[in-house]
Amino acid sequence: MNYFKNIGGFRSILYTIKIGRDVGFIKMFRTLVSKNTCKTCALGMGGQNGGMSNEQGHWPEICKKSIQAMSADMQKPIPLEFFKTYSIDELKNFSSRDLEKSGRLTFPLLLNTNSNYYKPISWKEAYDRIEKKLINTNPDRSFFYFSGRSSNEAGFLLQLFARVFGTNHVNNCSYYCHQASGVGLNTSLGTGTATVDLEDLDYCDLFFVIGANPSSNHPRLLTKLKNIRKRGGKVIVINPVVEKGLVEFSIPSDLKSLIFGSKIASEYIQIKPGGDLALFSGLAKYIIMKGSINSDFIDNSTEGFDIFKKSIQKLSWKEIENSSGINREEIEMIGDYYVKSNNTIFSWCMGITHHPHGTATVQQIVNLALLRGMVGKKYAGLLPIRGHSNVQGIGSMGVVPKLKKEIFDRLLKLGVPLPKTKGYDTLACIKSAEKNEMDFSFCLGGNLYGSNPDSNLTSKSLSNIDTIVYVSTSLNTGHIWGTGKNTIILPVLTRDEEYQSTTQESMFNFIRLSNGGIKRHNNLRSEVEVIGEIGSRVLGEEDLFNWNQLKNHESIRSLISNIIPGFESIREIGKTKKEFHIPGRILHSTVFPTDTGKAKFFYQDIPKSKNLKNNQFQLISVRSEGQFNTVVYEDEDLYRGQNQRNVILMNKNDIQSLNLCEDENVVIKNEVGRLDNILVKPFDVKEGAVLMYYPEVNSLISQRVDPLSQTPGFKSMIVSITKSFSSS
């Protein structure tokens, strides 16, 4: 048996050893076991039980991703000479990987319109410039973008600053991520996050993995999936691409699984991209037809069923089959699994939300759960698999254009002068910059340029902004291609380096405490310190808030506990170390937090199938195993067997029908842009669909969005494929 062929397993262990050798085993071990929330996905490892433990206290839990992120943060500083050596034009030849590998940012940097070089500046100069600019900026011509790595404390404080400063243009990477889940769940159930806790996964008997690749992106979920199979439960994967790690995975912390591998998918449904709404409509139709609905639950705890039922019954099987790419027998087979299940959990990720009908599909998943009463009880429910480690917390903290009414009212009561103007979502801010309507932008982490659709247009739009401030830990493509007339980069501490403790929220609504405390570099500031300093300089001593005092995390937590409903326990967390679930989020009873107390059925039409020419395909943009969002750590995608990123993965029948061959050099084009020198690779992807790597592919993604959630269709672009002249 070749143990190294297994996905996960020994190769993850080897990688750990390699990183240990690079950064030092003792340092690595100390970081891994330190009491800090893992920096990668929102499964939420670490916290007060120590790193490598999940929120149920289970140990050891570890994944290659956290080691990757950790080792990146442990890099040496970028030397001063770097910025004298490389001009912006030269840095444009650096890949995302080259930029990340340059090292940690440890001094503020300034790039002026008239210069081609980033220039190191002092913190004082950086603050002076930001203060001067903000004092002279019309608040409505400024926006604040947040990624999901920052703490609740930093998130809360910056959104508060933005509002007091006078703008509602406050948003986070969620608009490119799970916004459709939030909107869909909120309209149907009155709450926008997971309805289950981690323990529910230990008792469910059927688990749907829809449009997600957790083997690569949430590896620790795989332990739960393996256990579901082990206790006789079923895992159904719905994905246009056969992701090997979802077929079989080798879990490093489980010896048997490590050696022999574990089966994950009981059934693998290879759907057409964007076909999920049709598939779930088909499942609903079948369940209703069979009379396998939970009528008591529907009658007592839901509304809108009759209209939903009538509309679903009208759908033809032909339409369902055509749009989903799945035949009726297969749909009925999944339906039978569902009917037999007592406790089903539906989980999903970007394969659902990155479509113009993303929100509609989320609502349809909820409908399906409601039909059999799979929400509002233990061991069953809905689980949007969140991305960034604290993206959910950032949302909870009010990092949204429109504050929840309760938060708004509480702030108003405190006397906060809240702006009345309509706040923009992320893409709306970029579009507004395109029209020259933005003078100032502040980005707390992330890579707004890299994550944004239509890279060329984004670059141009950002260049219209007078001053952009990036608060970052390392260099990324945004610092090079997403510059304003003046660009300032402020280098900050990472979570485990913070001087004071911070908190994060997992995808299961669990609030964790991170101690921080690891010292790596001089001259860095904490995110909160930066925001507090800007607050005190711009808003002054006379302000309602003492911004200098708000550099203290305890003071911020006290404010959060007064302002954000459900966060009362955060006030004492620094002292008690008591991590907690946000009350009211996990739905284990049949009263729903909607206006009527009932869950709502929403019927949504299946989108019309597009007629494609024979060289046109639906493009799915995905992450590789070796990257975290726009940060590429390794060019290799171990799990998909690719060793470079300029590839297009295609079904072998499609390769044949275009008369192409493996490694042929092709041009990928559409109305947004073109990418040259892309190599064709055969892969088990649904015919008609092709796969490419994000963020490089963003020059082909249009700025068209899901009208309900404003999320771009990152997995729904049509592209044409033609041979390159050079290869013919």
Q: Binding to ligand MGD by residue 697, rule CB under 6 A?
A: yes
Q: Binding to Mo ion by residue 51, rule CB under 5 A?
A: no
What is the closest distance, in whole angstroms, from the C-beta atom of residue 397 to ligand MGD in the complex?
A: 15
Measured CA to CA, the distance from residue 197 to residue 506 in angstroms comes to 10
What is the closest distance, in whole angstroms, from the C-beta atom of residue 53 to Mo ion in the complex?
A: 24
471 touches, from ligand MGD, Mo ion, none (C-beta below 5 to 8 Å by class): ligand MGD
What is the closest distance, in whole angstroms, from the C-beta atom of residue 436 to ligand MGD in the complex?
A: 23
Q: Binding to ligand MGD by residue 621, rule CB under 6 A?
A: yes
Q: Which stretch binds ligand MGD (CB under 6 A): 254-262, 295-303, 365-373, 624-632?
A: 624-632
Q: Which is nearer to Mo ion, 273 or 335 (CB)?
A: 273
631 touches, from Mo ion, ligand MGD, none (C-beta below 5 to 8 Å by class): ligand MGD
Q: Binding to ligand MGD by residue 159, rule CB under 6 A?
A: no
The residue to which tokens 């952009």 are assigned:
468
H or E segment at 148? Answer: none
Selected binder of ligand MGD within 31, 54, 106, 150 (CB under 6 A): 150
Mention every residue, 6+ apart, whose C-beta is less than 8 A from residue 85.
none
209 touches, from Mo ion, ligand MGD, none (C-beta below 5 to 8 Å by class): none
What is the closest distance, in whole angstroms, from the C-beta atom of residue 624 to Mo ion in the complex?
A: 15
What is the closest distance, in whole angstroms, from the C-beta atom of residue 522 to Mo ion in the complex?
A: 32
What is the closest distance, in whole angstroms, from the C-beta atom of residue 408 to ligand MGD in the complex?
A: 26
What is the closest distance, in whole angstroms, from the C-beta atom of residue 451 to ligand MGD in the complex?
A: 3
Residues 454-473 that bind ligand MGD (CB under 6 A): 471-473
Contact criterion met (CB below 8 Å) for 366 and 374? no
Measured CA to CA, the distance from residue 242 to residue 641 in angstroms comes to 12
Helix 179-189 × helix 358-371 angle, to 10°: 40
Selected binder of ligand MGD within 284, 349, 430, 550 (CB under 6 A): 349
Would you call 442 helix, strand, or coil by DSSP?
strand
Angstrom CA distances, 485 to 236, 345, 463, 482, 659, stand at 50, 49, 6, 10, 47
140 touches, from Mo ion, ligand MGD, none (C-beta below 5 to 8 Å by class): none
For residue 269, the Cα-to-chain-centroid distance in whole angstroms is: 24
Q: Binding to Mo ion by residue 453, rule CB under 5 A?
A: no
Would you call 25 helix, strand, or coil by DSSP?
helix
Selected binder of Mo ion within 43, 78, 111, 177 (CB under 5 A): 177
- Give the tokens for residue 237: 């994967």
Q: Binding to Mo ion by residue 349, rule CB under 5 A?
A: no
Measured CA to CA, the distance from residue 692 to residue 680 in angstroms comes to 10
Q: Binding to Mo ion by residue 358, rule CB under 5 A?
A: no
Q: Binding to ligand MGD by residue 494, rule CB under 6 A?
A: yes
Question: What single letter denotes the amino acid at residue 353?
Answer: T
Q: Binding to ligand MGD by residue 711, rule CB under 6 A?
A: no
239 touches, from Mo ion, ligand MGD, none (C-beta below 5 to 8 Å by class): ligand MGD
Q: Binding to ligand MGD by residue 212, rule CB under 6 A?
A: yes
Contact criterion met (CB below 8 Å) for 577 and 679? no
Helix 152-165 × helix 553-563 angle, to 10°: 70
What is the closest distance, in whole angstroms, from the C-beta atom of residue 649 to ligand MGD in the complex?
A: 10
Selected binder of ligand MGD within 183, 222, 228, 238 (CB under 6 A): 238
Whether omega before 356 lies within 30 degrees of 0, making that bond cis, reads no
What is the closest distance, in whole angstroms, from the C-beta atom of residue 303 to ligand MGD in the complex?
A: 28
The residue to which tokens 């759960």 are assigned:
369
| Closest CA relative to residue 123, chosen from 537, 540, 524 | 524
**In degrees rounded to 5, what are phi and psi of residue 568?**
-55, -40
70 touches, from ligand MGD, Mo ion, none (C-beta below 5 to 8 Å by class): none
Q: What spatial distance separates the first Cα and last Cα of the chain, rounded to whole Å?
A: 42
Q: Which is nearer to ligand MGD, 471 or 480 (CB)?
A: 471
Q: Which stretch binds Mo ion (CB under 5 A): 79-87, 281-289, 381-389, 451-459?
A: 381-389
Measured CA to CA, the distance from residue 704 to residue 557 in angstroms comes to 38
Measured CA to CA, the distance from residue 75 to residue 63 in angstroms comes to 19
Q: How many CA atoms lie within 13 A of 449 on its CB side?
A: 24
Would you call 127 helix, strand, or coil by DSSP?
helix
Q: x/- contact string, 302-331, with ligand MGD (CB under 6 A)?
A: ------------------------------
Selected binder of ligand MGD within 601, 628, 639, 683 (CB under 6 A): 628
| Closest CA relative to residue 684, chosen from 664, 708, 655, 710 | 655
Measured CA to CA, the distance from residue 574 to residue 125 in angstroms comes to 33
Selected binder of ligand MGD within 211, 532, 535, 673 (CB under 6 A): 211
Q: Binding to Mo ion by residue 387, rule CB under 5 A?
A: yes
Contact criterion met (CB below 8 Å) for 416 and 602? no
Q: DSSP readout, 314-346? A: HS-HHHHHHHHS--HHHHHHHHHHHHH-SSEEE
Contact positions toward Mo ion, by CB under 5 A? 177, 387
Contact positions toward ligand MGD, by CB under 6 A? 40-41, 65, 147-150, 173, 176-177, 210-213, 216-218, 238-241, 243, 271, 273-274, 276, 349-351, 354, 387-388, 444-448, 450-451, 471-474, 476, 492, 494-495, 527, 620-623, 627-631, 694-695, 697-698, 701, 714-715
